[in-house]
Structure formats: structure tokens, C-alpha cells
Amino acid sequence: MDINNAKEILGPEFSLIFDVINPIVHDLKLSKDAKILDVGTGKGRMAIILALNNYKVITGEPDNDNTEYAKQNWLENAKKVYIDSLIEYKPFNAEKMSFNDEMFDAIFILGALHHINDKISAFKEFIRILKSKGIIGIFEPTPKAIKRIRKRSPTHPDAVDPREYTKNLPLSVEIRENFLYNIFIFKKI
Ligand SMILES: C[S@@+](CC[C@H](N)C(=O)[O-])C[C@H]1O[C@@H](n2cnc3c(N)ncnc32)[C@H](O)[C@@H]1O
């Protein structure tokens, strides 16, 4: 589906996030058959953006997450823009996943890292399942964005700086910033 059509169908919140994330997805120039994991499905915005770019993506969140952030209407959203066949949902906990070693070319984590309890274990798992030269794209909300989120979810946790959890891991990092997200593009070296 044409991207502008998809933005209109999915509404202004999706559209705003799409405009921030999509240029990054383009810049990464992942191969069209890249194996991609989206950690923390939520409303499915990250998975939908990837699928609108014709990537296949596996997405998931813990089966036992009953917070307001999980089990959102991602499938309904994906169906609205006809890309649901590109998205495979598999429940998992990022702290210990059943995926094979060096299986993925890229892992994306949009607004989800700060929701994971044991981030050190999660990063160990990301390194394990990522191929050499693979990418971890992390989008953490800026303080301004957190303020906005707390208007509807007052107990929402603070964002985190992923570099706190990646010391001594074989990763290089590039940082970009905008009004919504601090963006960390890690590469496995
Ligand atoms: C705010 S939502 C993320 C929004 C989503 N990425 C999107 O694109 O719309 C936070 C997500 O983190 C997930 N999450 C929390 N702890 C997790 C864990 N240990 N492993 C995987 N996902 C987790 C929640 O279940 C929820 O899906």
C-alpha cells in the first residue's frame, strides 16, 4: 500500500512516529530478505513500519504481560493496511528467548527497552541471536515525549540510555536525536 494512504488510515499518532522512524529504516539499507525481530509489539507500530517497507518481521512481547502497554490492537492495525501477512507474532520474553544463535540481521526496539525488567540479560540475548555486523535499532522516548505519555499513563517509567547496559559488549553505536526519540543504532562487531 502507498505510504501516504497507510498514514491516513492509521491516523495522526502513527503518522508522526512513521515520519521519524521511516528515514532510519531506509538509511539502514537492510537486504530485502533480512531476518528482522521487533521486541515489544504493543500497538505494532514498529512492525507495521517495517512491513510497509516490504520487510518480513517477527514481533513479540511476554505472554504474561497484562500491563496497558501489551496486547494492543496491532493485528487490527496491520490488517487495515494489508501487510498482516508480513508480520509473524510469537510471544517471548527478551530476557530469555528461544531463537537460534546468530539468526537475525536486525533487531528493533521501539519504546520498549525501558519496559524490560532485566536489561542486561536482554542485551546478552540480543548479542546471541544477532548475526555478525547485525543492527540493534533502539528508540527511547525523549523527556518531552515521556511527559506527553504520562498525561495518559501517569505511572509510565522513565526512558533509559541503552549504553548503560552495553558496556563490554561487542557493539559500536551511532546516536541520533529528534523531538520524539533518542535513537541508538548499535552494530555487532
Ligand atoms: C510501549 S509498548 C511498545 C510499543 C511498540 N513497540 C510499538 O511499536 O507500538 C512496550 C512493549 O514492551 C513489551 N515488553 C515489556 N517487557 C518485555 C520483555 N521482557 N520482553 C519483550 N517485550 C517486553 C510490552 O509487552 C509492550 O509490548
- Whether pLDDT at 92 is above 90: yes
> Which amino acid residue places its CA nearest to atom 13 of ligand 1?
40
**CA separation for the pair 50, 54 (Å, rounded):** 7
pLDDT in tens, 12-56: 999 999 999 999 999 999 999 999 999 999 999 999 999 999 999
pLDDT score, position 169: 96
d(CA 87, ligand 1 centre) in Å: 16
CA-proximal residue: ligand 1, atom 17 (nearest): 116
Q: How far is the CA of 110 from the centre of ligand 1 (A)?
A: 8
The mean predicted confidence, pLDDT, of the chain is 96
- Residue 174: what are its φ and ψ, rounded to 5°? -125, 140
Q: What is the pLDDT of residues 152-180, one digit of tens each?
A: 999 999 999 999 999 999 999 999 989 99
CATH 3.40.50.10420 fits 3-133, yes or no: no
Nearest-CA neighbor of 70 among 42, 109, 111, 110?
42
pLDDT digits 0-9 by tens, 59-90: 999 999 999 899 899 999 999 999 999 999 99
Whether the full predicted model's pTM is greater than 0.95, yes or no, is: yes
Name the region of 114 (left: φ>0; alpha: ψ -120 to 50; beta: rest).
Answer: alpha
Q: Specify whether the CB–CB gap between 165 and 123 falls below 8 A.
A: yes
Query: Residue 1: pLDDT above 90?
Result: no
Q: Which of 54, 70, 66, 163 is nearest to 111 (CA)?
A: 70
